[in-house]
Amino acid sequence: MIIIYLAMIILSSSIGSWVQNAPDRLRTLLTTIVVNRTSVIIGSLFWLLILSQEDLVKKETVFVLPKHDVLKHVIFVVAVTFGIIERLSSSGNLISMERDWVVTVAAPPGQPYDLTHLNAVMRRIDLVCKLISPILISVVISATGSVRIGVIYSALTSLVSIPIETISAKGVWNSSPLLRVPKSKKDPSASGAASVPTPAVPWTGRVRQFFRGFEMYFSTTVWVPSIALALLHFNMMTWRATFITYLINVGYSLPTITVARAIGSVFEISSTVAAPLGIQYMGKAYRQHRSLAGEEEQELEVGLIETNEEQQQQHVIDGQTLVGLQRFGLWGVSWQVLNLAPVVAALWAISSSRENQETTSSLASSTSSPGWGLSLVTFSFLSFSRFGVWVFDMTTQQLTQVLVPEHQRSKFAGVETSVVNVFEILGAAAAISFPRTEQFKWLSLASFVAVTISWALYAGWVREQRGHLLHWEKLRLWSRNSRR
C-alpha cells in the first residue's frame, strides 16, 4: 500500500492534467473504465497464480503450482503494478465524473437535479456499493471455502461491468448536448503552446509540471478546505484494516465488527439524504438573518448588472447555496470532532483495562472482549461521527467544484488526490511505527489531533470568508429570552 500511495502522490496530478486537457469527455471516461477493469482482471490472474502455489492452497487439488519463492515475488511485483494502474485509472474515472461530467450536466441551484442533489445521489450509490460489495465477496468465499474463487469472482464482476458502464456512459453523453461540446485545451490565462508541456525534456518538464500543479493548487480560494478534508485520511478511527485488526486483537468477534460497521454505514448513507436539506436550510437561514437585521445582501449580489428578475433571483440562490455549503460543512466537521472525543476516551479506557488485567494475572485472556459500556460508547459515537465525515466530504467537494475555475478543475482534483495520499501514507507509517495492540491508543490520540487540526483549518477559512463563525447577537438574544 505504501508503494501504491507513493505512486498516487507522484502521478495523480498528471492524471488530473490529462483529464483536463482531453477534449472528448466520452473517450476520456471510457478509457478510464476500460483501463481500470482490465487492470483488475489481469491483476486478479496474477494473484490467482500466487494463491495457487502449493504452500498456500488449502485442501484443494485443482490447479496447484509448485512452490517457488523467487517466482512468487516476481508475480507479486507484477500484481502490485496492476494495483497501481487500477488506483490511477480509478482516480481518473472519479475526476472525470465528479469534476467534469457532473458539473457540466447539473441544473442551476434550487432545481431538482442541481449539483448538490447529484453529488448526494452519487455518494449514496458509492456508499451503498462499499457496504454491499465486501459482504458479497465474503459470502462467495465463505460458501466456496476458497479465496481463489473470491479472486475469480472479482475478475468476473469487473468483466461484466465493462459493457454496463460503457452503455451507461454513452447514454448520458448522447442525452446531453453540453457534454458533447469539445473542451478547450488551453488555459485562458496562458498564451499559445505555453500551456502544453513539451515532450523534448520529459523528466525536467514533468518535474516542473508537477510543482506547477501544486502552485496552482495553493493559489485557489479553496485549498484550505481541500487540505482540511485530506487530513481526515490520517484518521485511523475509521473502518480500515488497522482499526479492524485492533478490534479483533482486543477481543471483538468479526460478526460484532461487521454489525457495528453496517450501523456506521447507515449513518454514512443518511448523510447523503441530509446534506441537500442542510445546505438549503443553512443558506436560507443566513439570508433570513440578514434580512431581519436590516442588512443588504451585498455578498449575494456581487457582480450583478442590468439583468432580469429571474437572473437576479438565480444569483441570490447561488449565493445562498455557497453560504449553505460553508456553514453546513463546518457543522459536519464539528460534529465529527465532538463524537470522536468519547471514542478516544473509550479506547484509552480499553487499553488501561487490558494493562490492568495483564499485571494482575499472567494468564489474562487477550481474547475477552471489553465490557458492554465501553463497547457501546466506542461503536455508537464512532457511527455518529461518520455522519459528520460525509457531510463535510460532500460540502467540500461541491465547494471545489464551483469555486475552482473550469480550466483548472480537473488539474486541481489531481493534485488534491496527491495530497490525500500524502496523509494516507503518513497514516500507514504511523501504524507501522506503533504496531502493537497496546500502542493503538496513541494512534487514536494522533488521529483525534489530526481531525481537530482539520476543524481548525476549516473554521479559520469559514471565518475568513464570512467574517464570523457564530452570530453572537443570536446567542445574547437567546440568553436574554432564557432568563425571562
pLDDT of 239 above 80:
yes
More confident residue, 470 or 38: 38
Residue with cell 466506542: 378
User: Predicted confidence band at 76 (pLDDT cuts at 50, 70, 90)?
Assistant: very high
Is 153 within a domain? yes
258: its cell numbers: 461487521
Question: What distance in Å separates the CA atoms of residue 11 and residue 418, rounded to the nearest whole number?
Answer: 8
The residue among 175, 197, 226 that closes a domain is 175
Q: What is the mean pLDDT of residues 98-113?
A: 87
The pLDDT of residue 62: 79
The pLDDT of residue 207: 80
Is 55 within a domain? yes
User: Predicted confidence band at 197 (pLDDT cuts at 50, 70, 90)?
Assistant: very low
Clarify whether residues 167 and 228 are in a common domain. Answer: no
User: Predicted confidence band at 476 (pLDDT cuts at 50, 70, 90)?
Assistant: low
Question: What distance in Å separates the CA atoms of residue 398 and residue 401, rounded to the nearest whole number?
Answer: 5
The total domain count for the chain is 2
Clarify whether residues 226 and 354 are in a common domain. Answer: yes
Is 97 within a domain? yes
Clarify whether residues 223 and 99 are in a common domain. Answer: no
pLDDT of 279-331, one tens digit each? 988 887 655 555 444 444 444 443 333 345 544 445 555 778 899 999 999 99
Is 105 within a domain? yes
pLDDT of 64 above 50:
yes
The residue among 144, 175, 206 that closes a domain is 175
Clarify whether residues 116 and 246 are in a common domain. Answer: no
204: its cell numbers: 525536467
The pLDDT of residue 209: 80
Is 423 within a domain? yes
Question: What distance in Å separates the CA atoms of residue 484 and residue 476, rounded to the nearest whole number?
Answer: 13
Is 188 within a domain? no
Is 79 in a helix, a strand, or coil?
Answer: helix
254: its cell numbers: 468479526
- Of 151-160, 368-377, 474-483, where does the model show the most confidence? 151-160
Clarify whether residues 249 and 151 are in a common domain. Answer: no
pLDDT of 140 above 80:
yes
Clarify whether residues 29 and 101 are in a common domain. Answer: yes
Question: What distance in Å separates the CA atoms of residue 400 and residue 412, rounded to the nearest whole number?
Answer: 8
213: its cell numbers: 500543479
Clarify whether residues 377 and 447 are in a common domain. Answer: yes
Domain containing residue 357: 214-297+309-470
* CATH number, domain with residue 396: 1.20.1250
Q: For all residues of the chain together, what is the average pLDDT? A: 85
Clarify whether residues 250 and 346 are in a common domain. Answer: yes
Clarify whether residues 142 and 224 are in a common domain. Answer: no
206: its cell numbers: 514533468
pLDDT of 49-60, one tens digit each? 998 887 777 666
Is 103 within a domain? yes
Question: What distance in Å separates the CA atoms of residue 179 and residue 106, rounded to the nearest whole number?
Answer: 11
Is 351 within a domain? yes
The residue among 122, 154, 175 that closes a domain is 175
Clarify whether residues 227 and 141 are in a common domain. Answer: no
The pLDDT of residue 474: 56
Clarify whether residues 342 and 408 are in a common domain. Answer: yes
- Would you say 337 and 228 are in contact if contact means Cβ atoms under 8 Å apart? no
Clarify whether residues 159 and 224 are in a common domain. Answer: no
DSSP string, 13-68: HHHHHHHHH-S-HHHHHHHHHHHHHHHHHHHHHHHHHHHTBTTT--S--SS-BPP-
